[in-house]
């Protein structure tokens, strides 16, 4: 488990990270969402032990990570602009990382290069941005570390490759002790893979939520009632986060258990009522508006 408590990091007068407190559980896919400059990269560098926090603590399995080789051996960090040795090939980089990660699987790496149609002896500096991203992910996965920290990993990948990388992560989660932390500026990229998401804003965590819990506790409903009196009475029984009306059709976002909500609505014998699926974007818009933020201005 990764626990960060009251983490701060300044570069001169610039507060890159300002009082982050977050917990990342083992075996879950954690998404770190934030605009450029929100502090995502700085936070991941501190988690990986590249940077030391100015204050606060970062513990990986209850151990300090900075200047602790034993802890770092279980962490692979893929930066937004991953570094490769000059004139290196994928095969060269596999040899380089196998010196540092004792469980690096060269055989599997070679097989995965073939699956992604990446040539093992081609100079990496001739690769496209997307190819370099793919290579970084394959190196990180084949290092077989417990924690894989990904900074804008899906940026530069086409939709097919995004799904391929997500499938690899799903396989790793099912097959071994694996915890990926994925930083992105786009909620939509993480909607179908993350178990928990934290929103980073102005160097601090604005919100951290378990997605399954959120999805079970907030619902979008469209309904039409017999008359205005029954509509008003039904709404009085619900914890409505957001309401929109189009003629006689109501579209409401309601907090609570699905069955309980629908029982209350159906007790008034509405003309029509159904649950609509909520996207991750819609869920976070609803949640952040409650605490006074417009996430649409922060993330999208």
* Mean pLDDT of the residues in the chain: 88
Residue 93's pLDDT is 97
Q: How many CB atoms lie within 10 A of CB 256?
A: 17
Q: Which of 32-41, 253-262, 263-272 is least confident? A: 32-41
Residue 157's pLDDT is 81
Of the two residues 102 and 190, the one the predictor is more confident about is 102
Spatial neighbors of 22 by CB under 8 A, at least 6 apart, are 3, 4, 198, 205, 208
Q: Is the pLDDT of residue 151 over 60?
A: yes
pLDDT band of residue 289 (cuts 50, 70, 90) is low
**Mean pLDDT, rounded, for 170-189:** 88
Residue 287's pLDDT is 62
Fold for the domain defined by 214-298: Alpha-Beta Plaits (3.30.70)
CA 69 – CA 49 distance, rounded (Å): 9
* Cα–Cα distance list, 162 to 19, 28, 155, 181 (Å): 32, 19, 9, 16
CATH 3.40.50.300 domain residues, the chain: 2-202
Residues present in the chain in total: 300
Residue 26 near residue 16 (C-beta atoms within 8 A): no
pLDDT band of residue 186 (cuts 50, 70, 90) is confident
Element (H or E) spanning 44, and its range? Answer: helix 40-47
pLDDT band of residue 52 (cuts 50, 70, 90) is very high
SS3 145: coil
Residue 51 near residue 42 (C-beta atoms within 8 A): yes
Q: Which segments of the chain are extended strands (E)?
A: 2-11, 14-24, 30-33, 55-60, 63-64, 75-78, 147-151, 179-184, 196-201, 204-210, 218-224, 239-246, 249-255, 272-276
Residue 294's pLDDT is 55
Fold for the domain defined by 2-202: Rossmann fold (3.40.50)
SS3 42: helix
Question: How is 46-76 classified by DSSP, letter by letter?
Answer: HHTTSS--SEEEEEETTEE-TT-HHHHTTEE
Q: Which of 12-26, 92-106, 189-203 is least confident? A: 189-203
The half-sphere exposure of 211 on its side-chain side, counting CA atoms within 13 A, is 21
On whether the pTM is more than 0.95, the answer is: no
pLDDT in tens, 226-241: 999 999 999 999 999 8
CA 200 – CA 115 distance, rounded (Å): 35
Residue 275, beta-bridge partner list = 221
CATH 3.30.70.1150 domain residues, the chain: 214-298
**Mean pLDDT, rounded, for 32-60:** 89
Q: Is the pLDDT of residue 215 over 90?
A: no
Residue 288's pLDDT is 61
pLDDT > 90: percent of the chain: 62
Q: Is the pLDDT of residue 202 over 80?
A: no
Residue 246 near residue 201 (C-beta atoms within 8 A): no
Q: Which of 136-140, 217-221, 248-252 is least confident? A: 217-221
Residue 290, beta-bridge partner list = none
**Mean pLDDT, rounded, for 198-207:** 75
């Amino acid at each position: 488990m990764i626990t960060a408590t009251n983490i701060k990091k300044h570069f001169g007068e610039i507060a890159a990270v300002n009082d982050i407190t977050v917990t990342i559980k083992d075996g879950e896919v954690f998404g770190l969402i934030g605009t450029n400059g929100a502090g995502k990269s700085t936070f991941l560098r501190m988690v990986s032990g590249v940077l030391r926090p100015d204050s606060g603590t970062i513990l990986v399995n209850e151990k300090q990570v900075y200047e602790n080789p034993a802890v770092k051996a279980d962490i692979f960090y893929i930066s937004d602009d991953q570094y490769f040795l000059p004139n290196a090939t994928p095969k060269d980089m596999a040899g380089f990382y196998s010196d540092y990660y004792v469980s690096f699987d060269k055989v599997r790496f070679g097989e995965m290069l073939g699956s992604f149609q990446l040539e093992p002896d081609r100079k990496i500096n001739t690769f496209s941005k997307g190819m370099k991203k793919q290579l970084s992910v394959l190196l990180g996965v084949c290092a077989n570390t417990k924690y894989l920290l990904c900074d804008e990993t899906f940026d530069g990948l086409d939709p097919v490759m995004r799904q391929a990388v997500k499938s690899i992560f799903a396989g790793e989660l099912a097959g071994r002790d694996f915890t990926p932390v994925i930083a992105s500026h786009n909620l939509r990229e993480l909607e179908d893979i993350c178990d928990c998401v934290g929103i980073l804003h102005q160097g601090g965590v604005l919100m951290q939520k378990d997605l399954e819990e959120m999805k079970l506790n907030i619902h979008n409903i469209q309904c039409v009632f017999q008359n205005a009196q029954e509509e008003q009475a039904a709404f009085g029984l619900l914890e409505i986060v957001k309401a929109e009306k189009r003629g006689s059709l109501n579209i409401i976002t309601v907090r609570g258990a699905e069955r309980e909500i629908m029982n209350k609505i159906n007790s008034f014998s509405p003309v029509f009522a159904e649950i609509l699926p909520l996207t991750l974007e819609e869920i976070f818009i609803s949640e952040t508006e409650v605490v006074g933020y417009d996430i649409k201005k922060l993330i999208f």
